[in-house]
Chains A and B, each alone.
Chain A
Amino acid sequence: MRTSQKIATALLAALGVAASTSAPAADPMAGRLLASQCAQCHGTDGHAVSGFESLAGESVEEIIKEFREMRADTTPDIMDLQARGYTEEQVRLIAEFFAAQPHSGSDD
């Protein structure tokens, strides 16, 4: 964590705002909105009903790792291209939202 970020986090904590490692995370609804854009294929709140991977309950690290792998794929499939549409910051917010959802046990 950078120094400026540490200060900001400490200040926000002092203000009674949920401390976080990323700027827009101070807006608790941002991750929910961004993650909702995955739901058309991965189910409401990450609980897929059919076939595609359920993201609910996956760890932040795992989701971020998957995004990085998909972006690096040289013969991109549909999700490999989708992954290239989001910033690092947005991916983290999405990952944090799904990680906080109860696991549904219907992994692909």
Chain B
Amino acid sequence: MNGFTRRQFLKLLGATSAFAAAPPALRAATTAPRVVIIGGGFGGATLAKYLKHWGGNIDVTLVDANASHYSCILSNLVVTNAIPMSRITLSYANLAGKYGVTVLKDMAVAIDPDGHKVTLASGMVLPYDRLVLAPGIDFVPIPGWDPNLAPHAWQAGPQTTLLKNQLAAMPTGEFFVMTVPKSPYRCPPGPYERACVVADYLKRRKPGSKVILLDANPGITAEPHNFGTAFSTIYKDVIEYYTNASVLEVDSVNKVVLTSIGSFGGAVLNIIPNQQAGKIVRDTGLTTDPTGRWAPVDVLNYASTTYPDIHVLGDSQASTQPKSGHMASSQAKVCADAMLRGFAGGAPYPAPVTNSACYSPITASTASWLTAVYQYDPASKAMKLVPAAFGEAPAPSGDNYQDMFKWADNIFADSFM
């Protein structure tokens, strides 16, 4: 065990006095703080649940455009018809019934940061003490791109079904052309995972067909060992992998993509465009990072650096942490804890830890994994990767494939149930 230094003790005494000066019951007894959350993905749902689970007397409203959430986690297996859509459909019923969260099927269209009000598409106006934006990603438009013809399937739901149907209808011997966005984007291993499971499907169901994988990055963004090995061995004759291929234009009708390294056409065109923060985050003027696409936050509580009572969670925020459902859920807990401390007159916990763990199917019966832990670094005020805790699976395995479903079930339940 670490020693107990004099400095730590003095700090503790300070914390104790501050605690005594602001009794938490006082604030809670007068009025319930109102928290409005825009976006019911892993970040928004986890925050809603944990504010109630930990806090009790908080008035929590969760706004999402859909009646249920379609999880991107496991969604590549819906594309290949290995699992049904119902397996990744997550209901908000428990958040409402078990935790007392007010769930609204609606969309935020305007925010008044000074008046502390958010206006929804239905016309409803919600006042808030704290507003949380967790809308996920939005796409950077590409000339000629129509997602109804060349689906992204990077927000799960109808897009997943569209890509699944196009894959099923693809003639044998044809090309499945897909693009990998420039980093940072949602789910770093995701595009390579999709290329692998589609290649596995084509090998078994439509032999002679190929995946053309066009990567805007100079190399494989995540799990280079596992995906690189898969591309050069089991999928050597199925996946053609190209790097530094930036998408310039799309002919959605004829399914041709023009890139910086040439034009590629196929029977299926899966365009996963470059990404940015959700529209409501951009419209509120929060995307002030150097790229103008993501919202900088204080990672002790995920408060926007523009408006401290508007928080941004998950994919839309700009931080050192990767964009994924697991990370959004991890950040939501730090945000919930900091918010509850704030309502009680306290400061955020000064040393938060976040983590990411995920499994990626490589074939229809094997998977790899990727894991990372981030510790708060007071010097840089950023979440810093712990190098010793970072890594990918030594090789894909059948056990990992089984563990992938245990992970999914637990993160689904921890966030939504």
Contacts and interface: CB of A to CB of B under 8 A. Distances in A.
Interface in B348-393: 349, 351-355, 357, 369, 371-375, 386, 388-391, 393
Contacts of B105: none
B410 A43 contact: yes
Contacts of B333: 33, 36-37, 39
B410 A40 contact: yes
A51 B413 CA distance: 13
Contact of A29 (B9, B337, B351, B409): B337
Nearest to B333: A36
A86 B353 contact: yes
A89 B20 CA distance: 25
Nearest to A5: B4
A11 B8 CA distance: 13
B2 interface: yes
A85 B388 contact: yes
Contacts of A59: none
B389 A43 contact: no
B357 A78 contact: yes
Nearest to B54: A32
A43 B353 contact: no
A50 B406 contact: yes
A49 interface: yes
Nearest to A90: B353
Interface in B334-351: 334, 337, 340-341, 349, 351
Residue in B3, B351, B394, B410 with the greatest tally of chain A CB atoms within 10 Å? B410
Contacts of B394: 75
Contacts of A85: 353, 355, 372-375, 386, 388-389
Interface residues of B, number: 55
B355 A50 contact: no
A30 interface: yes
B231 interface: no
A17 interface: yes
A26 interface: yes
Main secondary structure of the interface of B (DSSP, over half): helix
A8 B12 contact: yes
A63 interface: no
A51 B400 CA distance: 12
Interface residues of A, number: 46
Nearest to B370: A78
Residue in A17, A29, A39, A89 with the greatest tally of chain B CB atoms within 10 Å? A39
Nearest to A83: B389
A56 interface: no
Nearest to B386: A85
Nearest to B407: A41
B398 to A, nearest CB: 14
Contacts of A27: 15, 349
B222 to A, nearest CB: 15
Contacts of B50: 36
Contacts of A44: 53, 413-414
A5 B9 CA distance: 9
B413 A84 contact: no
Contacts of A83: 389
17 contacts: A8-B4, A12-B16, A22-B1, A26-B15, A40-B330, A40-B411, A41-B357, A43-B413, A48-B410, A50-B409, A50-B413, A51-B405, A81-B371, A82-B371, A84-B388, A85-B353, A88-B1
Given A11-B9, A37-B333, A40-B414, 7 more contacts: A12-B16, A23-B12, A26-B15, A29-B340, A37-B354, A76-B391, A85-B373
Interface of A: 2, 4-5, 8, 11-12, 15, 17, 21-24, 26-27, 29-30, 32-34, 36-37, 39-44, 48-52, 75-76, 78, 81-90, 92
Interface of B: 1-6, 8-9, 12-13, 15-16, 50, 53-54, 326, 329-330, 333-334, 337, 340-341, 349, 351-355, 357, 369, 371-375, 386, 388-391, 393-394, 402-403, 405-407, 409-411, 413-415, 417
A-B pairs with lowest CB-CB distance, top 8: A85-B373, A51-B406, A85-B389, A50-B409, A5-B4, A84-B388, A84-B389, A85-B386
